[in-house]
Amino acid sequence: MAFTTATTDFSPRIRAQIDRFFAAMGQGFNAYLEARSRRDQIERLQMMSDAQLAELGINRDKIVHYVFRDRLGL
């Protein structure tokens, strides 16, 4: 059985465009995964009573701010 590989030499400009494309895709995917993982935390906090939230020092209208405080600089 013979295997062949196709190699294409791209110009540096095209290679840079391809790299930027995949880097942007990766950043978007990472952001999606991170936001999705935090959605569970938001839902858990939303299910708490106001008294439980107060014990944590969180107002109900600030749950999203609390969950993303590391990103928002809060």
Please enumerate in sequence order all residues whose Cβ is within 8 A of that of 68, keeping only pairs 6 or more positions apart, or say none: 38
pLDDT of amino acid 19:
85
pLDDT average per 10 residues of sequence, the chain (74 residues): 62 84 78 77 93 94 89 65
With tokens 């938001």, the residue in question is 42
pLDDT of amino acid 71:
75
Residue pair 41/67 in contact by the 8 Å Cβ criterion: yes
pLDDT of amino acid 63:
92
